[in-house]
């Protein structure tokens, strides 16, 4: 294995760990709003790291560009959906978690 292979493996592993952290946040946090925060932040970073790791392995600028474009579209969609879910929860009167 070469240096880029090790870096790619490290990025893929780090991305998987961010996905795991987002999933744990979904299961552990007390209300809709904090769960959304955990999912959107961790999943966006995790996918970004995975895309970087895959782009290093792609061997083509065209494929790497497509991967980055997919990541940007997922960022846009994730933010939009999280906003819609939070707005729907607020309209239904779901309260924020208070200690």
Which long-range contacts (C-beta less than 8 Å, at least 24 apart) are formed by 54-62?
A: 54/8, 54/12, 56/4, 56/7, 56/8, 56/11, 57/4, 57/5, 57/8
What does the longest C-alpha to C-alpha distance in the chain come to?
55
Mean pLDDT of 15-43: 92
Provide the pLDDT for residue 14.
Answer: 97
pTM of the model: 0.87
Question: For the chain, what are the domain ranges?
Answer: 3-91
| Token duo for residue 92 | 């239904």
Phi, then psi, of 95 in degrees rounded to 5: -75, 155
- Per-residue pLDDT at 99: 78
Q: Which is higher by pLDDT, 98 or 28?
A: 28
Confidence of residue 17 (pLDDT cuts 50, 70, 90): very high
What are the tens digits of pLDDT across the range 51-78? 999 999 998 999 999 999 999 999 999 9
């Amino acid at each position: 294995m070469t240096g880029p292979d090790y870096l790619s493996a490290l990025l893929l592993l780090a991305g998987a760990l961010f996905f795991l952290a987002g999933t744990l946040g979904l299961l552990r946090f007390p209300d809709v709003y904090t769960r959304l925060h955990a999912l959107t932040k961790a999943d966006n970073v995790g996918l970004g790291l995975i895309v970087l790791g895959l782009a290093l392995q792609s061997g083509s600028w065209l494929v790497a560009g497509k991967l980055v474009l997919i990541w940007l579209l997922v960022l846009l969609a994730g933010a939009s959906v999280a906003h819609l879910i939070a707005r729907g929860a607020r309209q239904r009167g779901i309260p924020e978690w208070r200690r």
